[in-house]
Amino acid sequence: MAEVITMPRLSDTMTEGKVAKWHKNVGDKVKEGDILAEIETDKAVQDFESEINGTLLYIGVEEGAAAAVDSVLAIIGNEGEDISGLTGGAAAAGGSEEKKFEEESKTENNTASTEQASAEVPAGVEIITMPRLSDTMTEGKVAKWHKNVGDTVKEGDLLAEIETDKAVQDFESEFNGVLLKQGVEEGGAAPVDSVLAMIGPEGTDVSAVGAPKAAAQVAEKPAEQKPEAKAEAAPAVSSSSSDRIAISPLAKKMAQDKGVDIHSVNGSGENGRIVKKDIENYKPSQVAQAAVAAPAAAQVALSFVQGEDTETPNSQVRNIIAKRLAESKFSAPHYYLMVEINMDKAIEARKEINSLPDTKISFNDMIIKATAIALRKHPQVNSSWAGDKVIHRGNINVGVAVAIPDGLVVPVLKNTDQMNYTQISAAVKDMASRAKSKGLKANEMEGSTFSVSNLGMFGIETFTSIINQPNSAILSVGAIIEKPIVKDGQIVVGNIMKLSLACDHRVVDGATGAQFLQTLRTYLESPLTLLL
């Protein structure tokens, strides 16, 4: 009998999982212990093994897609077994074909709808929509109409002045004809892509043409018109000065792209205004001498390559990190305490420890050890907020922030206060290495009671961190910097490190946080006290 495999809950905070990779395809034989897929959780990518034998009959989540915990991930059963009752009628063998058929049906329906809507637009009529004249524009306001219904309109003529969220800009016609309809009254506003005007043959009745049909008409416009609409966003060139050339924003942009000297172009628009077709019909051979005499600055401008925006889809880990940090920052009232630590004695102690055979520890290891011992003396900092109560954690589990390509993960050192320097050093190196290769298990990133984030290795002197919930505090560690200090009444060079403690004020009061930092400073400035 077929068995339904659901999306597993691989961590206590996991609400959905993403299939990073399928190791089995529909029709493949599956044995108990075989890896079915790699599941990306909010913390790591983990192998997911089959617990039953059979044939993979159905895949419920495509590779690269995400699904909620406990939703159908796959179905395993006997070869040829009918599983239509388990998949809601979508058999594994025909699932992809049915999906394809549905998509094709939708496409055909949409095409039919578009054709029907377009057929209702009278022949020769062009739909002018509210242009997007800035990247943040969502609607435009018609500040002034330059053409009234019934006026003859030529390509390049000013139709209206459009007020965006940033400026008032001229909007030109790209078509010849008669203005049949104004979709927005002067002084009125309308969303981007809504009907602004209609241009067509004189006497054409457009009273029955509505906004849905306009959208269909816009969909039929050639692809090459899209960049022209974007080009409209360029500031309009004023013709009020004798030192300037009357040219439309679109024509000016085209001239810049093509390297055309606009001083040598004869305008065919209103009052000699240069419009798009004048640039399109421009013949470089007729103005060869003018091109040679162009200023050097213009030649430099022609060699400029416009940058291109790119996008990177967020990984599941990145999305969950963003969600968790936002929840922490906006739900927990953070406050920050900062202190300077004299690391002279810690530097000497580290040298002595590292002189021992097969021993090498870092300052970060020393800070983690000192933090764990300090938490033992200040258990309130090792607590969590739980709505109507505060939970005082019995174990001291320090989470160590590790940067990975997808963001930040926090592997946890369990019972850190009971570990020595060598154990801490080995554990941190091992988990940091496996974190970067996505080899950490979910249980290795759970159960932290306090967190440490160290950017000192990057030369950062001081910074603040966002609390890693459900912790109530996080320690930010800066770089060790040589600077002048006063010691025994004398100015000497000292090695100073700055620590910043972010606290959740619901759990850790200011005095409690300050006392914890005092204890931590004592341990780091006098390392021998850790042995007491």
- Please identify every residue annotated as catalytic: 505, 509
Q: Which two tokens stand for residue 462?
A: 């001081």
Q: At what angle do helices 421-436 and 363-377 cross, to 10 degrees?
A: 110
DSSP 7: P
**How many other CB atoms sit within 10 Å of the CB of residue 119?**
11
Asked if 94 and 167 count as a contact pair (C-beta separation under 8 A), the reply is no
**How many other CB atoms sit within 10 Å of the CB of residue 304?**
8
Phi, psi of 488 (to 5 degrees): 55, 40
Asked if 43 and 12 count as a contact pair (C-beta separation under 8 A), the reply is no
- Identity (one letter) of the amino acid at 2? A
Cα separations in angstroms, 219 against 118, 190, 197, 232, 413: 10, 19, 16, 19, 58
How many helical (H) and strand (E) elements, i.e. helices and strands, does the chain have? Answer: 12, 26
Asked if 148 and 141 count as a contact pair (C-beta separation under 8 A), the reply is no
Q: At what angle do helices 344-354 and 510-525 cross, to 10 degrees?
A: 50
Q: What's the rounded Cα separation, in Å, for the pair 159 and 146?
A: 5
13: left (phi over 0), alpha (psi -120 to 50) or beta: alpha
- Provide Rg for the chain, Cα atoms: 34
Alpha helices for 381-532 (secondary structure H): 421-436, 510-525
Q: What angle do CA 242, 246, 251 make, to 5 degrees?
A: 150
- Identity (one letter) of the amino acid at 19? V
DSSP 472: S
